[in-house]
Amino acid sequence: MTTTTHHWPQRTAHIINLLLMLVLAGTGFYIHRPLVGGLMGLARYAHIVAAFVLLVNLAWRIYYAFLGQYKDAREFKPQLQALPRQIRYYLFLSNHEVKEGLYNPLQRLAYLAVVLLIILQGVTGYALGWPEGTMAVLVNALGLAEIRALHYLITWFLLTFLIVHLYLVLTETPHALSEMFLGRQQLLSTGSPEKHVARDRA
Amino acid sequence: MDFQSRLEHKGLTRRDFLKAVAAVTAALGFPVVYEPRIAAAVEKAAGKPAVIWLEGQDCTGCSESLLASVNPGPTEIILDLLSVRYHETIMAASGQVAENWLDENIKQGGYLLIVEGSIPTADDRFLTIGGRPFKAILQAAAAKAAAIVPIGACACYGGIPAAGPTGAKGVQDIIKDKPIINLPGCPVKPNWLLGTVLHYLILNKVPELDSNKRPLAYFGTLLHDNCPRRGHYEKGEFLTDWNDPGQKEFCLLLRGCKGPKTFTDCAQNWWNDGVNFCINASSPCAGCTQPEFYAAGPMDTRVGLAPLYLRTDTMNLPGVGGVNPETVGKVVAGAAVVGAGVHLVGNVLTGRLKQDKGDKGGREQ
């Protein structure tokens, strides 16, 4: 079956996500601990601009997942019953992974969690940037120190996701890496033959 | 003695008085047209509205701060205008006479209740006056008060005593059915009390408050956003060595400044009637107007802003207590790296790495 698992809109959103999250992590760590002087104003500016673009990108991606030409919202539907089997596969207790469609049950949960974490980063970040605005109630309830710590902790969670994501892509589906960034069509079958990938449904 | 002669007695002209009123009007964010009304209210208040001043677990620093404001400051004018019926530190009476006098005034009702210091909740015996628990005295006084103004971090949110074993709480945790205007700070700034009392006298209502019950006029902006050292922050100039003269004007963030987490007007409205304030004197902000200021101790699992000279990056997890997100993050990310390494070994050993995933992946049979 000749197919591409990710279409250009998804690929574009993914690349924008990656670049912006790297910018956000870099500037974020600088803002957290400015060991080298002179860049704070620039770092904050870049951080805020990147954050808003990331949120717009996320909003567009969610819209596209449901209503786009190559909509793929169904690919992310959680499959909790199949989750233990997938975990057994990763623990070498089984040789068969669960893959109905594009993503296995763990992938689905992980990507949904990333969406949630980005939204949480947006909320806490907005509270930190404009503490007197719409987030004033949240700021007063938790205290800015707590919100700042939360924002920083979520950064680490996202970095952890990045590590696991990269490792699993490289070891499980190395061909997906070039496909995701270069868009090369590859001879690729995902799941058993009767299963459909995103493109076939479009 | 009428109001005018009382001013003269203090060595103040009417012009001095109007200047003080103008400063208060501006500080409260009232338009200039309010100035005559405020002056009139103050003159009317020369009829001396009653004030009862209770003191719980504290250091009397707030009283000290108010009584020591520059002489004769606007604060003193207003304190002279009020009839302070009961104040343990400055009243002449003592013993049973003083307590009877307090009871008598409580019976009259309608007074402004100013509370300084926190209330012990772990055990009433931590603080009793004349054998009565302080909490009971506060509840009795609050029942007939027109409004309550807790002053200082202790009376508002528990303050420094909250880090101790007495279960120290602020007034808002004890009294629920009365208007409360929190004026935190360690100690409270005299002009906050002046402005709040004036506002109450003029409009006879509570000023606009945030969700921590602090007047927005004084606690509506972040100190960090108005800091005189903000330029150094933006330029990335941070004080790291106290002994380097070249750094003495630099941003104090790396030396534990809590300015980015603290709502107060300290940067615009300096201490001691405009003489100076912490950051201008090269001390990091301690965050004394925040509810979480000193909330770190056995009785309080919230994350505090202490200690002064250290960056406090910890966060509170329910049931766990203070957690440093940096540690958690490094452990989680480190575990991911180690897990990936172990898994890679497994991948190689089982030969899974060489399999063509596209073909082999499939539903479990």
Q: Which residues span the domain enclosing B354?
A: 325-360
pLDDT (0 to 100) of residue B320 = 66
Catalytic residue among B87, B156, B186, B232: B186
Q: Which of B263, B330, B364 sits opposite A96 (nearest CB)?
A: B364
Task: Look at A190 and B260 and tell me if their CB atoms are within 8 Å.
Answer: no
Q: What is the pLDDT of residue A189?
A: 47
What distance in Å separates residue A43's CA from the closest CA in chain B? 9
Interchain contact, A146 vs B350, CB within 8 Å: no
pLDDT digits (tens, 9 = 90+) for A78-95: 888 888 888 888 888 888
User: Within an 8 Å CB–CB cutoff, is residue A92 touching chain B?
Assistant: yes
Last residue of a domain, one of B217, B246, B269: B217
Q: Determine, for residues B236 and A131 on separate chains, whether the beta-carbon distance falls below 8 Å.
A: no
Q: Which domain holds residue A46?
A: 2-201
Does any CB of chain A come closer than 8 Å to the CB of residue B358? Answer: yes
> Which pLDDT does position B172 carry in this prediction?
93
A140 vs B211: CB contact, 8 Å cut-off?
Answer: yes
SS (HEC) of chain B: CCHHHHHHHCCCCHHHHHHHHHHHHHHCCCCHHHHHHHHHHHHHHCCCCEEEEEECECCCHHHHHHHCCCCCCHHHHHHHHCEEEEECCCCCCCHHHHHHHHHHHHHHCCCEEEEECEEECCCHHHCEECCEEHHHHHHHHHHCCCEEEEEHHHHHHCCHHHHCCCCEECHHHHCCCCCECCECCCCCCHHHHHHHHHHHHHHCCCCCECCCCCEHHHHCCEHHHHCCCHHHHHHCCECCCCCCHHHCCCECHHHCCCHHHCECCCCCCCHHHHCECHHHHCCCCCCCCCCCCCCCECCECCCCCCCCCCCCCCEEECCCEEECHHHHHHHHHHHHHHHHHHHHHHHHHCCHHHCCHHHHCCCCC
ipTM of this predicted structure: 0.77
Domain boundary among B217, B248, B269: B217
Flag residues of chain B having pLDDT under 50: 297-299, 358-365
Which candidate in B264, B300, B317, B364 is best for mutational testing of the A interface (most A CBs within 10 A)? Answer: B364
Burial class for B117, CB neighbours closer than 10 Å (0-12, 13-18, 19+): buried
Residues 6+ apart with CB under 8 A from B77: B7, B10, B12, B17, B20, B42
The dihedrals phi and psi of A3, each to the nearest 5 degrees, come to -160, 165
For A3, which DSSP code?
A: E
From B87, B156, B199, B227, active-site residue: B227
Residue B294 lies in a domain: no
Domains of chain B: total: 2
Judge whether A159 is closer than 8 Å to chain B, CB to CB: yes
Nearest CA in chain B to A145: B261
Report the residue of chain B nearest A167, measured CA to CA.
B340
In a domain, B99, yes or no: yes
Q: Which CATH number do you get for residue A119?
A: 1.20.950.20
Question: Strand pairing partners for B322?
Answer: B316
Interface of A with B in 62-91 (CB under 8 A): 85, 90
Q: Are residues B150 and B21 part of one domain?
A: yes
- Is the CB of residue B330 less than 8 Å away from at least one CB of chain A? yes
Residue to mutate among A99, A153, A173, A197, with most B CBs inside 10 A, is: A153
Total structural domains in chain A? 1
A-chain residues near B312 (CB < 8 A): 145
Query: Mutating which of A3, A31, A40 best tests the B interface, going by the most B Cβ atoms within 10 A?
Result: A40
Please tell me which residue, B83 or A147, carries the higher pLDDT value: A147
B185-238 tens-digit pLDDT: 999 988 888 888 878 877 778 888 988 899 999 998 899 989 999 988 888 888
Say if B354 is an interface residue toward chain A (CB within 8 Å): no
Nearest CA in chain B to A159: B333
B236 touches chain A (CB under 8 A): yes
Indicate if B156 belongs to the active site: no
Q: Do A156 and B357 touch (CB under 8 A)?
A: no
Residue from B87, B199, B224, B232 carrying the catalytic annotation? B224
Q: Which of B187, B199, B171, B188 is nearest to B78 (CA)?
A: B199
Percent pLDDT > 70 in chain A is 87
Give the CA-trace dihedral at B102, B108, B112, B118, to 10 degrees.
40
Q: What confidence score (pLDDT) does residue A175 get? A: 78
From A36, A144, A171, residue closest to B260, measured CB to CB = A144
B285 is catalytic: yes
Q: Which of A41, A92, A192 sits opposite B362 (nearest CB)?
A: A192
Instruction: Reduce the DSSP state of residue A187 to 3 states and report it.
Output: strand
More reliable by pLDDT, A5 or A39: A39
The minimal CB distance from A146 to the residues B316, B333, B347 is found for B316
Q: Which phi and psi (to 5°) does residue B51 adopt?
A: -130, 135
Chain-chain contact of A145 with B363 (C-beta, under 8 angstroms) = no
Task: Look at B303 and A149 and tell me if their CB atoms are within 8 Å.
Answer: yes
CATH number at residue B193: 3.40.50.700
Q: In whole angstroms, how far apart are CA A138 and each of A126, A132, A135, B58, B185?
A: 11, 10, 5, 29, 21
Judge: B315–A136 Cβ closer than 8 Å, yes or no: no
- Chain A within 8 Å of B340 (Cβ-Cβ)? yes
